[in-house]
Structure 1
Amino acid sequence: MSHDDSPTPSEGRAPKEPTSPSLYVLPATRAPVAAVFRRGPSKAWMIARWDLLTDEITAGARLRGTVYPRRCDLSPDGRLLYAFLLKTASRGFLGSGGGLLSYSIVSKLPWLYALAAWKESGTWTRGYHFVERQGRDEPPWDIGPPGEGDVVPLRARYGLARTEPFQYAAEHRRGWTAHERCPARGPNDMWDERRQVVLVRTRPGGSERLVLTDTGLNTARPFAIEGRRPDYHLERRGREVALPDVTWADWDARGRLLLATSYGCLQIRDVDKHPMPVRWERDLEHLPPAPGSAPEHVRRW
């Protein structure tokens, strides 16, 4: 392939230091909603809701601890968030005597108020993901009884299936497939950590292909989420278009190119124009979390 001119960041945008926030996005599979995870600028995490019909951003919970976004999931309708967390727990929570605790919760996006919670034995897990019922009496349910809360309303609609050790499992559930250049997983790579990954996703209603390239686990790389920091480029009309400063990318159902950048912004770019100008942008670096505690409507199913 030949190389095309790459798009440039917004005019006047100065490169940020690696202390800028890192962003990761999880779109719902059948609703125009996405969960946005922001790490930093301090060590805290924030969750936000991105409405892909209106492009409104709603700030939610803040967590002083660790969120593992690549092990999280958003329900197909975009309402519920499964999250894998590590933080200092209060004495008595999930039977804990206090101290550092890894646990799973189900909450309402963009909050982390646990409607149900389970204690985990550590961080050597890829978490869980939502599975829709398909006419069976019981959906897949790998977690068991919760340590806190009630799962009966959740069981009525969804199962929670264990995510197997597989890189970019959330992306595969959202339409990404292995690129023809993607190497096979090694027989001794049990946790799929060492493999270089190349994935591709074709634009809905179009022929352009978005390509994700990950050279392997690298916890020191700026803006890495759980040690992964892929690069992205676009394939169109036999040419490669680099996407510099992009740390996450995907198509929405309308074929719009959604991006998160290394300077803390969410963007939508116009793929049909050269050199893909920014149609919409929201700077999340200074977006404050929602004030106060979780509102009453997210404290019940």
Structure 2
Amino acid sequence: MQLIRWDLRTDTFEHGQWLKGRVYERRCDLSPSGELLVYFAATNRPPYESWTAISKPPFFTALTLWPKGDAWGGGGVFEDENKLLLNHSFDDNRVSVAPGFRLMRGMKVDPCGILSGRGEDDPISGYILARDGWRVIEAGEGQTNGLKASTFYSFNKPRVLQKTGANGRSLQMVLHSIGRSQKAWYGLDYRVFDRDGTLLVDLPETDWADWDGGDLVLARGGCLYRLAKSDFRSGDVMPIEFSSRLHDFNGSGFSALAAPHAARHY
């Protein structure tokens, strides 16, 4: 997994460190300034097996590290630049960092709700989606297919979240399956509707999409795209070819990169 800094003002990219392990992207968050990243990762090897850490993107080098040891809970959410909700179990309202690490001066760390340290991608994922303007418009219905099935959970009625953008347009995130073999864990489609409910953009099997100042930005097939707000058209459904491809990451490969001094200190 590689960490890359994306400057939304210029659509330029700073390629950062790789981590030889699993990063649970739905349990990660940026501080409001974008200068700090809290992430949950696992190698399933000693000394930590899994852990939550704070770093300075685009580097994974941990400034603060909390050992976890399993994949339940983990991760965190920034309430502001100096307050973190940590999804770990607390002992008498305290949780210890690993030896050799420290917390940033002035930062406060609280549990992530009364069930802190439990769950998987939730509660972190749900908290961040709600904070960032997404609301559930259809709860969805489905069934578990079993651990040996190619898809662990399938929706008969998809779960739909919606986020309002510029000019009354709405972006919908449609979750239709979870736990797919040899595919992205979450089966997602995205759609954009005009204020009158007309479908403008249909994006099946898309990893991520969101609004950026009225533009639609999205990740699909290892590439990042931007559809400018001025390019939206009423009438026929717009294909992805109407958007600008910002970068193709499919050719990326591991290379060792040491964190500079500034990324190793608060």
- TM-score w.r.t. the length of structure 2 is 0.75
The answer as to 2:26 corresponding to 1:70 is yes
Aligned-pair CA distance for 1:127: 2.6
The partner residue of 1:176 within 104, 116, 134 is 134
Against the structure 1 CA distance between its residues 69 and 141, is the aligned structure 2 distance closer, same or farther, given a 3 Å change threshold? closer
Structure 1 gaps of 5+ residues are: 1-44, 91-95, 187-192
Against the structure 1 CA distance between its residues 118 and 129, is the aligned structure 2 distance closer, same or farther, given a 3 Å change threshold? same
Aligned-pair CA distance for 1:89: 4.8
The answer as to 2:59 corresponding to 1:108 is no
Aligned 8 A contact 2:211 2:217 in 1: yes
Aligned 8 A contact 1:46 1:60 in 2: yes
Residue deviations 1:64-113 (CA, integer Å, cap 9, x gap): 111110111111111111111111556xxxxx3xxx70111110011110
Aligned-pair CA distance for 1:55: 1.0
- Cα distance between partner residues in 1 of 2:263 and 2:17: 11
The answer as to 2:215 corresponding to 1:256 is yes
The answer as to 2:87 corresponding to 1:87 is no
The answer as to 2:244 corresponding to 1:284 is no
Structure 2 gaps of 5+ residues are: 89-94, 144-152
- RMSD in angstroms over aligned alpha carbons? 2.9
Aligned-pair CA distance for 1:120: 0.5
Against the structure 1 CA distance between its residues 284 and 161, is the aligned structure 2 distance closer, same or farther, given a 3 Å change threshold? farther
The answer as to 2:103 corresponding to 1:151 is yes
Aligned 8 A contact 1:132 1:157 in 2: no
**Which residue of structure 2 aligns with residue 246 of structure 1?**
206
Poorly superposed stretches of 4+, deviation over 6 Å? none
Code of the residue aligned with 2:130 in structure 1: it is H
Residue deviations 1:219-239 (CA, integer Å, cap 9, x gap): 3162x1xx2131111111321
The 5 A counterparts of 1:1-301 are 45-87=1-43, 89=45, 96=47, 101-125=49-73, 127-132=75-80, 144-148=95-99, 149-153=101-105, 156-157=106-107, 159=109, 161-162=111-112, 165=119, 166=122, 168-169=125-126, 170-179=128-137, 181-183=138-140, 196-203=158-165, 205-220=166-181, 222=183, 224=184, 227-236=185-194, 237-240=196-199, 241-252=201-212, 254-262=213-221, 264-273=222-231, 274=233, 275=238, 277-288=242-253, 291-301=256-266
**Which residue of structure 1 aligns with residue 146 of structure 2?**
none
Code of the residue aligned with 2:260 in structure 1: it is P
Aligned 8 A contact 1:257 1:268 in 2: yes
- Cα distance between partner residues in 2 of 1:185 and 1:161: 31
**Partner of 1:282: helix, strand, or coil?**
strand
**Partner of 1:217: helix, strand, or coil?**
strand
Percent identity of paired positions between Structure 1 and Structure 2: 27
Residue deviations 1:122-148 (CA, integer Å, cap 9, x gap): 1011532112279xxx87566522114
Aligned-pair CA distance for 1:256: 1.3
**Partner of 2:61: helix, strand, or coil?**
coil
- Cα distance between partner residues in 1 of 2:254 and 2:111: 30
Q: Point out the structure with the larger strand share.
A: 2
Code of the residue aligned with 2:164 in structure 1: it is T
Residue deviations 1:266-287 (CA, integer Å, cap 9, x gap): 1111344333722352111124
Query: Quick one: higher RCO (CA 8 Å, sep 6+), 1 or 2?
Result: 1
Residue deviations 1:200-249 (CA, integer Å, cap 9, x gap): 0001x321100001123223162x1xx21311111113212311452210
- TM-score w.r.t. the length of structure 1 is 0.67
- Cα distance between partner residues in 1 of 2:40 and 2:9: 28
- Cα distance between partner residues in 2 of 1:230 and 1:256: 20
- Cα distance between partner residues in 1 of 2:109 and 2:24: 20
Aligned-pair CA distance for 1:175: 1.2
